[in-house]
């Protein structure tokens, strides 16, 4: 299932940031709302989706950066989100974990594996990330 809100890490050619993205699919269309830092609040995108994969394409004028053309391709694997963006400012990678979910295997379809391994894929906002993220785009 694509729909949901994800805690994300954004890796751009110049910096790393954290935020959220909300995805809502309807048929073969998808809408996204991106919130990253103060400059990118409630940024709306529309694209296409199929099963667990989705795409966005377009252009926008972003504060501090200027005009950016982009093509994005993403997928959802259980509660994990991966999104690769080719843009006029370089490659942007977004990855994240569904809020209220655990990363890794889809528990509903891999329940016996999860019970057997007792794996903990939960999101950790620990010290490993300290100092890597900036509040400006």
Instruction: Let me know if 113 is exposed, middle or buried by CB neighbors in 10 A (0-12, 13-18, 19+).
Output: exposed
Are 47 and 32 contacting, i.e. CB atoms less than 8 angstroms apart?
yes
Q: Please, which pLDDT band fits residue 129 given cuts at 50, 70 and 90?
A: very low
pLDDT tens track for 15-30: 889 999 999 999 999 9
- pLDDT for residue 5 is more than 50: yes
pTM of the entire structure?
A: 0.71
Tokens 């991966």 label which residue?
Answer: 82
Work out the pLDDT band at 79, boundaries 50, 70, 90.
very high
Q: What is the DSSP string of 29-67?
A: EEEEEEEETTTEEEEEEEEEEETTEEEEEEEEEETTTEE
Cβ-proximal residues to 122 (8 Å cutoff; 6+ apart), any chain:
102, 103
Is residue 53 within 8 A of residue 73, CB to CB? The reply is yes
Q: Indicate the SS3 state at residue 127.
A: helix
Say if residue 122's pLDDT is above 50. Answer: no
């Amino acid at each position: 299932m694509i729909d949901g809100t994800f805690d994300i890490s954004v890796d751009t050619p110049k910096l790393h940031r954290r935020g959220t993205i909300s995805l809502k699919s309807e048929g073969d269309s998808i809408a996204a709302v991106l919130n990253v830092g103060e400059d990118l609040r409630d940024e709306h995108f529309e694209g296409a989706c199929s099963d667990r994969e989705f795409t966005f394409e377009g252009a926008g004028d972003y504060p501090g950066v200027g005009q950016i053309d982009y093509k994005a391709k993403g997928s959802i694997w259980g509660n994990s989100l991966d999104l690769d963006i080719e843009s006029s400012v370089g490659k942007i990678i977004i990855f994240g974990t569904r809020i209220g979910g655990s990363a890794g295997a889809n528990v509903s379809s891999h329940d016996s594996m999860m019970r057997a391994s007792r794996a903990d894929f939960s999101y950790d906002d620990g010290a490993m990330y300290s100092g890597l993220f900036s509040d400006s785009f």
